[in-house]
């Protein structure tokens, strides 16, 4: 099972997500791995071309979705990695990325 664990231990089973969300969060993870500028990363994950805050796809409260939780977890980890925030959890800064099944 492809499970993402946030910095505070919440788990999200990504193989239960819509394929579009999985593809998108994989892109976000690559941006994270390439250590792109924090503000550019935030623009990409929360901007108008992102599915994260799309109410049509994610319901009336898009900030209550697994996609939002994983995207913003990556966002905060990147901020820590770039020295913008203090690390406030146990464990590594970089997440353990789940192995996803090829479609």
In a domain, 50, yes or no: yes
In a domain, 49, yes or no: yes
In a domain, 100, yes or no: no
Total count of domains within the chain: 1
In a domain, 17, yes or no: yes
Which two tokens mark 98? Answer: 């789940």
**Where do the H-state alpha helices sit in the chain?**
19-33, 38-46, 55-58, 66-81
In a domain, 98, yes or no: no
Tokens 């997500």 belong to residue: 17
The pLDDT value given to residue 100 = 58
Long-range contact set of residues 28-36: C-beta below 8 Å, sequence gap at least 24: 28/71, 28/74, 29/74, 29/97, 32/74, 32/77, 32/78, 35/78, 35/81, 35/82, 36/78
**What tens digit of pLDDT does each residue of 60-88 get?**
888 889 999 999 999 999 999 999 999 99
Structural domain span for residue 75 = 3-81
In a domain, 44, yes or no: yes
In a domain, 26, yes or no: yes
In a domain, 11, yes or no: yes
**What tens digit of pLDDT does each residue of 19-33 get?**
999 999 999 999 999
């Amino acid at each position: 099972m492809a499970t993402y664990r946030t910095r505070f231990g919440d788990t999200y089973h990504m193989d239960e997500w819509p394929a579009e969300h999985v593809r998108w969060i994989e892109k976000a993870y690559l941006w994270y791995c390439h250590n792109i500028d924090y503000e550019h990363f935030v623009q990409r994950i929360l901007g108008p071309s992102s599915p994260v805050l799309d109410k049509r796809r994610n319901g009336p409260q898009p900030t209550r979705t697994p996609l939002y939780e994983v995207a913003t977890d990556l966002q905060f980890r990147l901020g820590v990695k770039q020295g913008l925030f203090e690390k406030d959890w146990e464990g590594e800064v970089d997440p353990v990325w789940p192995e996803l099944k090829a479609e």
